Amino acid sequence: MANIILASSSPRRQELLQQLGLDFQVFSPEVDETVLAGETVEQYVERLAKDKAKVVLTRYPEAVVIAADTSLSFAGKIIGKPESKQHAFEIWSALSGHWHDVFSGLCVAKSSKMLSTVVKTQVELQVLSHAEMEKYWATGEPVGKAGAYAIQGIAAQYIPQIRGSYSNVVGLPLHETAQLLESIKAFR
């Protein structure tokens, strides 16, 4: 297969992609992550994944690009990364004791073809006390994470169950990534 580029500087996405046994390079593109008026979380994450792939393809037109974007949805709202400690506490207070949805937009593209999909996983977050929120915030782990938590880290202790792809919640749905990579091979 042609040179593969992961359009992300996320160490978690890099670790996940390594599980597929692929050789790849990393290039993290700059894209506008503003939510458009009326845009659903599914539309949002897919658009961002496609936008990231397009930016990388303009720089590396011979490459196969893997791009993803992950966000949460709860009560009809898109929940991204916390902007502050207070914002993280607001997110956790809303999610505490409830199920929420984690969506990843995934795009595998090359100059002749762009394939994309959206993967949904449901996650249950236990009821969190203020002391648990303080303790978790103090670890530094929630910073820069959609929903202000990392399921693959310390936050695992607060998540009783999920329905769907674990790797999706981490940030790159591996099953779907492998499928799209296989499909893109057919296009010249």
Nearest to 67 by CA among 75, 58, 76: 58
The three-state DSSP-derived secondary structure of 81-146 is CCCCHHHHHHHHHHHCCCEEEEEEEEEEEECCEEEEEEEEEEEECCCCCHHHHHHHHHCCCCCCCH
Q: For residues 77 and 127, give the distance between their C-alpha atoms in angstroms, rounded to a whole number.
A: 20
- Report whether 52 contacts 31 (CB < 8 A): yes
- Based on the residue annotation, tell me whether 101 is a catalytic residue of this protein: no
Annotated catalytic residue within 23, 32, 69, 101: 69
Looking at this protein, which amino acid is placed at residue 77? Answer: K
CA distances from 13 to 126, 156, 169 (A): 25, 18, 11
The set of catalytic residues is 69
